[in-house]
Amino acid sequence: MVVLTRRRSLMLGGGLVAALALQGCAGTDADPDGSSAQRRDGGTLVVYAVPNPAFDPRQSFGWLNRALSDSLLDRDPTTGRFAPWLAEKWEHNAEQTEFTFRLRKGASFSDGVPVNAASVKANFDGVTQDLAAGGGWYVRGQFEHYEKTEIVDDHTIVVKFSKPNPSFLTTAATSQLALLSPASFKIPLEKRRTHFVASGPFVVEKYVPDERLVLKRREDYAWGSGLAQHQGRAAIEKIDVRLVAEAGVREGALTSGEAQIAEAPTVDGSALLEKQGNKLYWRPTVGIPYSLQPNFRKPLVQDIAVRRAVLKAINREELSKNATGKIAPPATSVITRTLNGYQDFGALLRYDQAGARKILDDAGWTLGADGVRVKNGRRLSLVIIGAAENKPIQDAMVLIKEQLKTVGIEVTIKPETGIGPTWWQSGADLWFSGNKSAEADVLRKMYQNNGTTTQPWLYSDSAEVSSHGKRLQEVLQGEAVEVDATKRNRLLAEAQEILIEDAICIPLVEHESGFVAAAPRVHGLRLDSLSNLVVYDAWLGK
């Protein structure tokens, strides 16, 4: 049994990350020459992007969401402070069960419907509708205690919850709660992935799946975020998005001048593009870092000794150096440094081959003649699944395979295209993945009991896979309704420690987000609190 009490008391004595300060910074800040005085109007921005089967902000994440949609609030990614957007004023009661928003006047969705109290109510009621239909992944857990949205007048609403919801404002300031025109909620979730109406500075002019997406600016747009570098319509007239899976082709288009932005360049390719004078934009992702998520339906990963050995046998420094690059440093917890409540548990994630071997020895896993461990006639052979289209992930899995081999664990790599919530159906034991969220409450969403209803690879009761499973559920449910920031951070830190100690999640590296290379003539780019690229302020120099 792992004793957590002494370590936790020492850890809390050392202080916690401040609740409201988002740590970390962009690889490249917004252009210093992106001032309104120098802005040039017009032109088409050509972007070579990774294909994405969805751009509804409620069902996906990425820079397209911010080009097409707005939120009630914005949030400074450096300070954590909220800024006005579609809401000009906001407040909440001491219990954080009632949130009042005063909407700005004059904003509208691209179908002409005004952004008013009725449309915002339709959006929050629409969340519960999406959740009931099996959607709403990014806000799952946020609306468990939602009661209603009350209309005070045409521009004032009160959102009411039956229990405290300290993470609500943070989520409301992201694209994950971006506002859609009420008509969008009449569209089935599957179709709405690419067919919806929002209030953003751009609208879809043309879409050819897996080939091309053309956005055009809204000429009447005049309600930018309080963090924007300008107000009024966007300078860029059109954004021509070419959907290209091959990173080399995307990079080549930028080098040749065919494109002004190349999305998700490779580690080597980005270094070359930067040498050529292009600018790199990126920021550490917010949420759960790249990790190995166990499929608790599989007997081998139900064994806590196996999971703990895997966690110790992985050399995260080597993964970062040789596979994912400087933009993806070794993970030090089950949430990223940029998230509220983060605590550094790097010591628990230290590379320790000898420790991994001892754990397996003590658990009765003996080395076979071929170097693979065996117990009760069963080989210690794991299948790891990861995105085939993501080269850093594939390279990292190859290294993990080599590292685990040295302690007697056999690994089979299973590259898959377009994997997601149904990954467990592949039969894999572990999934190489991350999760983007603006709030540390993502841990509750991911690891609370009864997760099998929405995450079939999870447990119905964490006590089945962890001796600290009961306590884990207590702290996860407690942090969700704790309005005292210091107390909430203590609970979040305890949850992180249990998840690592019992290898319920196996963190690897903190990956980048919003990573693009842009030509020198592209100005005014920045990244938001979800580490998504914002193109509203962008303009093209000569």
Q: Which two tokens stand for residue 539?
A: 């303009």
Query: For residues 396 and 413, what is the distance between their CA atoms, to the nearest angstrom?
Result: 11
Segments making up each domain of the chain, as ranges: 38-283+513-540, 293-510
Residue 35 is predicted with a pLDDT of 52
Which single residue is written with the structure tokens 């909407």? 103
Domains 38-283+513-540 and 293-510 belong to one CATH topology:
no
Write down the architecture of domain 38-283+513-540 according to CATH: 3-Layer(aba) Sandwich (3.40)
Give the closest residue to 380 by CA, choosing from 397, 398, 357.
Answer: 357
pLDDT tens across 61-107, in order? Answer: 889 999 999 999 999 999 999 999 999 999 999 999 999 999 999 99
Q: pLDDT tens digits, residue range 435-463?
A: 889 899 999 999 999 777 778 899 999 99
Most confident of 244-248, 392-396, 479-483: 479-483
Q: Residue 507 and residue 270: Cα distance in Å, rounded?
A: 25
**How confident is residue 187, by pLDDT bands cut at 50, 70 and 90?**
very high
Buried b (16+ CB within 10 A) or exposed e, 17-31: bebeebebebbbebb
Confidence of residue 36 (pLDDT cuts 50, 70, 90): low
**pLDDT tens digits, one per residue of 313-365:** 999 999 999 998 878 999 999 999 989 999 999 999 999 999 999 999 999 99
CA distance 459 to 403: 27
CA neighbor of 408 nearest in space, from 377, 374, 363: 374
Confidence of residue 200 (pLDDT cuts 50, 70, 90): very high
State yes or no: pLDDT of 424 exceeds 90.
Answer: no
- The set of long-range contacts for 352-357, using a CB threshold of 8 Å and a minimum separation of 24, is 352/312, 352/313, 353/312, 353/313, 353/406, 353/407, 355/312, 356/308, 356/309, 356/310, 356/312, 356/313, 356/407, 357/309, 357/407, 357/408
- In the CATH hierarchy, which fold is given to the domain comprising 293-510? Dipeptide-binding Protein; domain 3 (3.10.105)
How much is the mean pLDDT over the chain? 91
pLDDT band of 296, cuts 50, 70, 90 = very high
Placement of tokens 């400087």 in the chain: 326
The pLDDT tens digits for 502-534 are 999 999 999 888 899 999 999 999 999 998 999
